[in-house]
Amino acid sequence: MSAKLLVVAGTRPEAIKLAPVIAALRRLKGLSVRVCATAQHRELLDGMLDAFGIRPDIDLDLMRPRQSPGEVLRRCRKALAPVLARERPDLVIVQGDTTSALGAALAAKDAGVCVAHVEAGLRTHDPRQPFPEERNRVRIDRISRLWFAPTIGAARNLRREGLGPDGIFVTGNTSIDALLWALRRPGPPENRSLARLPQKRLVVVTLHRRESFGRALDGLMRAIGQASARLPGWTWVLPVHPNPRVRRAARRLAGRSAVKLIAPLGYLDFVKLMKRADFLVTDSGGIQEEAPTLKKPVLVVRNKTERPELLGRGGKLIGNSGARLLRELTRWARGRRPKPPARNPFGDGRAARRIARALSAWARAKRPRP
Ligand code: UD1
Ligand code: UDP
């Protein structure tokens, strides 16, 4: 009898980080793997699932314009209840700290189904930063029974909260598995506008954190505009997140010829773009993890990070004030930037295999042969 696993993914980063897990699980015998897309993100999720050749078995189609996390959470929990009743999985697998991941964990708890959490144990220890992600991951970890911690530090966070120790596995982050897969796919970018970017003096910027919305995000965008005026010869590429509040803030950069505001890129193209950059500026979690493998220094535009492994290893946490960003951009563009580490502290590309092996052992122990 095979164990039934239901993988739930809602947003861009979940698709990227769960794709290697889905592939590794499908290579093992004795497991039935079904994929449920909540579609908290529509275009971003679809693009990523396509890139990895994943077709969801179930699609909840949740995204609405200007949705709030509270609304998405309620809809996700409600929409998953009948799915769980119908599918009757032995285990629900969620990733990270999004509303979809929490909604799926809560729905599984309501249905009495066990939860496995990929990327467990990340903490800033500040419930407001990032918001609502820090609260989400704490709640997901409390519900989970299997925890795949990317680093030793993350596993330590879990044990300090009284979780485990049985069921905690240090695996590395599956983002690195996905990245190494993408790096093995060379060839020209699909997005032709990338070919027109200069070969040198290129900075890639992504900003989308909710806790920066409003004055902070406006100030950060202003700082990029000022840097583009102050540092001739440099090009600033911003794939703009489709969240209307991010798009509105980015609009103030329109018309500056050194700033390229572009639509979000497909994963393979975005990896190609990062490879060409001199450095990265981001508040994204995944990009912080990818930077060391790509040997790119990265300015982390946040007040707190749940990825301390990067600090002093090519990553610098600078807060979300525009004035500080402008100072750092000027310094980094003038060559005063840190060296990335020789080894990526977040993973070695084998995380998904470790997770699949642990899940397979769990399934064997849980469901003895009839
Ligand atoms: C969510 C995650 C965040 C993650 C980010 C990845 C939560 C609480 N936060 O951000 O951790 O870093 O996704 O990108 O779950 N939109 C589209 N098309 C898309 C995607 C989004 O139009 O494909 C627009 C919609 O108007 C949507 C808005 O963006 O309402 C915001 O999407 P949402 O899922 O709410 O994003 P965040 O919560 O900001
Ligand atoms: N990414 C992408 N295209 C883009 C911007 C980002 O494919 O235009 C990838 C990036 O390489 C990383 C992931 O999306 O793997 C990060 O997603 P996001 O920043 O949305 O979420 P976070 O990591 O902050 O949760």
Whether residues 54 and 125 fall in one domain: yes
**pLDDT tens digits, residue range 141-185?**
999 999 999 999 999 999 999 999 999 999 999 999 999 999 999
Residue 345 lies in a domain: no
Q: Is residue 344 part of a domain?
A: no
Q: Does residue 340 fall inside a structural domain?
A: no
Mean pLDDT of 31-50: 97
Are 232 and 139 within one domain?
A: no
Q: Give the pLDDT mean for 114-139.
A: 98
284 and 327 part of one domain: yes
For 26-49, what is the mean pLDDT? 96
Sign of CA dihedral 143, 144, 150, 154: positive
pLDDT band at 308 (very low <50, low <70, confident <90, very high): very high
* Catalytic residue list: 97, 119, 133, 208, 210, 241
Whose alpha carbon is nearest atom 11 of ligand 2? 287
Ligand nearest to the CA of 48: 2
Helix residue ranges per DSSP H, 94-211: 99-111, 133-143, 152-160, 174-183
- Compute the distance from residue 13 Cα to the ligand 2 centre, in Å: 6
Residues 6+ apart with CB under 8 A from 353: 24
SS3 content of the chain, % helix, strand, coil (to 5): 45, 15, 40
pLDDT tens track for 43-100: 999 999 999 999 999 999 999 988 999 999 999 999 999 999 999 999 999 999 999 9
Co-location of 214 and 277 in the same domain: yes
pLDDT tens per residue across span 202-229: 999 999 999 999 999 999 999 999 999 9
Average pLDDT (332-347) is: 97
Q: Do 354 and 320 share a domain, yes or no?
A: no
Q: Are 208 and 243 in contact (CB under 8 A)?
A: yes
Q: What angle do CA 181, 174, 285 make, to 5 degrees?
A: 105
CA 346 to chain centre: 13
Here the tokens at position 253 are: 């950069």
Say what the pLDDT of residue 2 is: 85
Give CA–CA dist 61/53, Å, rounded: 19
In the β-sheet with 279-282, what is the strand arrangement from edge to edge? 259-262, 235-239, 202-206, 279-282, 298-300, 315-317
**pLDDT for the residue 361:** 95
**Quick check: 131 pLDDT over 50?**
yes
207 falls within a domain: yes
Question: What is the model's pTM?
Answer: 0.98
Going by alpha carbons, the residue nearest to atom 14 of ligand 2 is 13
The predicted structure's pLDDT at residue 186 = 83
CA-closest residue to ligand 2 atom 17? 13
Q: Would 153 be classed as within a structural domain?
A: yes
pLDDT of 1 strictly over 80: no
Question: Which residue's alpha carbon is at the smallest distance from atom 39 of ligand 1?
Answer: 210
Smallest-distance ligand from the CA of 284: 2
Instruction: Provide the pLDDT for residue 353.
Output: 98
How many Å apart are CA 258 and CA 202, to the nearest integer? 10
> In this structure, is residue 338 part of a structural domain?
no
How many domains is the chain partitioned into structurally?
2
For position 370, what pLDDT does the model report?
Answer: 45
Tokens 């979690």, located at residue: 285
Cα separation of 210 and 114, whole Å? 30
Q: Is residue 178 in some structural domain? A: no
Percent of the chain's residues with pLDDT above 90? 94
Task: Compute CA 133 distance to the chain's CA centroid, rounded to the nearest angstrom.
Answer: 11
Do 9 and 153 fall within a single domain? yes
Enumerate the β-bridge partners of residue 170: 149
Residue 289 confidence (pLDDT): 98
**Cα gap 104→79, rounded to integer Å:** 9
pLDDT over 80 at 134, yes or no:
yes
Residues 29 and 151 in one domain: yes
Q: Are residues 222 and 121 in the same domain?
A: no
What residues flank ligand 1, with Cβ below 6 Å? 11-13, 40-44, 63, 65-67, 69, 97-99, 132-133, 208, 210, 241-244
Phi, psi of 117, deg, nearest 5? -115, 115
My answer on whether 147 and 274 are in the same domain is: no
CATH number at residue 309: 3.40.50.2000
Mean pLDDT of 289-308: 98
How far apart are alpha carbons 312 and 316 in whole angstroms? 7
Are 154 and 252 contained in the same domain? no
For residue 40, being part of any structural domain is answered with yes
Q: What residue ranges in 268-343 does DSSP mark as E strands?
A: 279-282, 298-300, 315-317
Using CA positions, which residue lies closest to atom 12 of ligand 2? 286
Please state, in angstroms and rounded to a whole number, the distance separating the CA atoms of residues 356 and 71. Answer: 33
Residues in the ligand 2 pocket, defined by CB under 6 Å: 12-13, 16, 175, 206, 239, 264-265, 267, 270, 284-287, 290
Which amino acid, residue 26?
R
Are 311 and 358 contained in the same domain?
A: no
For residues 301 and 325, is the Cβ–Cβ distance under 8 A?
yes
One domain, residues 204 and 125: no
299 close to 335: Cβ distance less than 8 angstroms: no
pLDDT score of 266 more than 60: yes
Give pLDDT, residue 369.
52
Q: How far away, in angstroms, is 11 Cα from ligand 1 center?
A: 7
pLDDT of the residue at 169: 98
Residue 83's domain comprises 3-172+350-364
> Residue 110 and residue 91: Cα distance in Å, rounded?
13
Please give the distance, rounded to the nearest whole angstrom, from the Cα atom of residue 369 to the centre of ligand 2: 42
Ligand 2 centre to CA of 12 (Å) is 6
Given a contact cutoff of 8 angstroms between Cβ atoms, the answer to whether 292 and 311 are in contact is: no
Listed in sequence order, the residues at least 6 apart from 28 whose beta carbon sits closer than 8 Å to its beta carbon are 356, 360
Burial (CB count <10 Å: 0-12, 13-18, 19+), residue 48? buried
**pLDDT digits over 111-120, tens only?**
999 999 999 9
| Ligand 1, pocket-test mutation among 8, 11, 119, most atoms within 8 A of CB | 11
